[in-house]
Structure 1
Amino acid sequence: MEMALRVAETLKSFRETRLSALRPPSEFFDVHRISRPADVNQAVSRISYNTRYFSGNYLVIFLALSVYALITSPWLLGALAFLIGGFILINRFGADPMQFGDATITQKSLYTGLFVIGIPLLWFASPFMVIFWLIGASAFLILGHACALEPGVESEYAGLGESV
């Protein structure tokens, strides 16, 4: 119960801080502002401004790609479910030592068994391939969008308050 309250509190603060920065789709997908940057300096300037301005939208893209990567990698999803589920079950039901015949099974031996099975299963699921795909796909989409989209009129006035 206590953990559920912490998760709910974390999601609430996440929604208030990160998702409040979401820009409307009409602004994010404005095809009239898409153009090729004239040079590298302009591309870097656009990327710098747009990654700050659209940070909430880019976070949603990253999260959507993360969910897609997990769904399309059933071995990784199964390995993570096994490890996380085993950890939760051991914490809930394996706190006290159990006696089976002459053998005593402790929480430490349950964790050892979980990791002896779970780590090779996780390694077989190739999590690094998924992580590198996620980094590459996110970088391509986010940097491509940030580089191609011209900053709006509000960007001209962004530094005005700082210089006064």
Structure 2
Amino acid sequence: MSKKIGIIVGSLRKDSFNRKAAETFVNLLPEGYEAVFIEIGDLPLYNEDLDVAGSVPESWTRFREELKTVDGVYFFTPEYNRSVPAAIKNALDVGSRPYGESAWDGKPALVVSVSPGAVSGFGANHHLRQSLVFLNMPTLQQPEAYIGNVLNLLNEDGTFIDDTVNFFQLITNKYIEFFEKLA
């Protein structure tokens, strides 16, 4: 039975660099691992008033159930105003509720920030890690995955250059080692 890795992409843009990175990482997973893209763009903002029987949005239920089926999570985030996009923060909130029933609990995580800028999404990467500590998600520490100047890392066809793919493979290998140690 394969292990499932949930893929959360914080940029909702159709041609986002984070989605391109996520798709590349997915192709690097070894045999025995399966990637599952989990949609977060359709989640209404978390409001505890809606989190009661008969009022829970269908997309929240779908999201929570999908999260429960994965064994680990890859997060791909751009940086918006030195932090994570609202879509990721909202997904964290929706998945962690109702209190005591967090679907995130104990799932090994990887945080990758992708940016056209030189700072590489450093602020978003670290803000996300702060939340993952509270959610009890052990997170790969090294190698750090800050992918800056992304426009210089793409071939003409929009795929990543070989050196970057090699770096993504290194990160993937280290995550799998980390994941297996925790299993």
TM-score, length of structure 2 as denominator length: 0.29
Which structure ranks higher in relative contact order (CA pairs < 8 Å, sequence separation ≥ 6)? 1
Q: Which structure has the highest helix share of the two? A: 1
TM-score normalized by structure 1? 0.31
